[in-house]
Amino acid sequence: MQEPVSAIIAERAREPDGMRRMLGVSFGAHIVVVAALALMPAGWRTWQARALPRDVLFISLGGTPGPRSTGMTPIDARPIQQVVSEPELKKPQWIQPPAVATPEMTVPAPKARPAPRSTTPPVTKAPDTARGRTPTKGTEARGGTARAETGATRGTGFGGLTTGGGGGTGGYVEAGNFCCPDYLGTMVSMISQNWNQFQQVAGETLMKFAIQRDGRITNIEVERSSGYVALDLAAERALIATGQLPALPAAYPDAQLVVHLSFQYKR
């Protein structure tokens, strides 16, 4: 039994060609897009044009180098113990029960009993404020405000490190979250060795430079001139002469570390 309609319907139900071709076109287009993404110059596909170098540190090189206390807690400029005189404490007194009144003379009456005179309840327990407090003996040590002068004046600490520095004026550090203070200590001492601090004028030069990951000092520039070419040049010379520092610590993630270093000359 074959209906004439069925043949036509079966014929119509077949899928026309074209699907395979479109699939091929689509796959081709996807491959082209992916390949273009992969092969295009690296500069085009970064959406963030170039990571700005992070300004991490402001370090000042000032005065003579102080005592080196690498890795240890500096003892200067700490509150020290001071003897404080004890304020006089009043010795607490026990509360006395009220004096018992002398009974009046009364004619003894066989049946009457004298009414109690006192309405105060008998004290059996001392109040809380009078609980036995032993008075202190001797003097008490407390944190004072006096400073112990150890010869080392305030240093510029890199997160817990002192690098010393005499003179004590204008030593400052503005550290970002740089991981490794030891490295900065090394850097400052290496640069100070190459720095002729004693010029004929006083002034301050702010230098800016970058430490590459392998420790090279690059991009040296005078950020704020002292006004004297000699001072600027001496600072620049110190950086150029130092040239190579130890490689940046592995814990620091960026490719380079930008440092602002101030060179302070005091005649």
The piece of 46-54, 144-152, 165-173, 187-195 that touches other proteins (CB under 8 A) is 46-54
- By the rule CB under 8 A, 247 interacts with other proteins: no
Task: Report the alpha-carbon distance of residue 153 to residue 185 in Å, rounded.
Answer: 17
The piece of 13-21, 108-116, 159-167, 232-240 that touches other proteins (CB under 8 A) is 13-21
Tokens for 258, please give them. 């930008």
Task: Report the alpha-carbon distance of residue 136 to residue 145 in Å, rounded.
Answer: 23
**Residue 60 near residue 259, CB atoms below 8 Å:** no
Burial class of residue 177 in the structure, from the number of CB atoms within 10 Å of its CB (0-12 exposed, 13-18 middle, 19+ buried) = exposed
Burial class of residue 252 in the structure, from the number of CB atoms within 10 Å of its CB (0-12 exposed, 13-18 middle, 19+ buried) = middle
Residue 64 CB, nearest approach to other proteins (Å)? 36
- By the rule CB under 8 A, 237 interacts with other proteins: no
- By the rule CB under 8 A, 34 interacts with other proteins: yes
Site for other proteins in 69-88 (CB under 8 A): none
Using CB under 8 A, pick the residue from 1, 5, 107, 109 that binds other proteins.
5
Using CB under 8 A, pick the residue from 105, 115, 146, 251 that binds other proteins.
251
- By the rule CB under 8 A, 16 interacts with other proteins: yes
The piece of 45-53, 99-107, 168-176, 185-193 that touches other proteins (CB under 8 A) is 45-53
DSSP string, 2-65: --HHHHHHHHHHSPPTTHHHHHHHHHHHHHHHHHHHHHS-HHHH-SS--PPPPEEEEEEE-SS-
Interface positions with other proteins (CB under 8 A): 4-5, 7-9, 12-13, 15-16, 18-19, 21-27, 29-31, 34-35, 37-39, 42, 45-48, 213, 251, 253-255
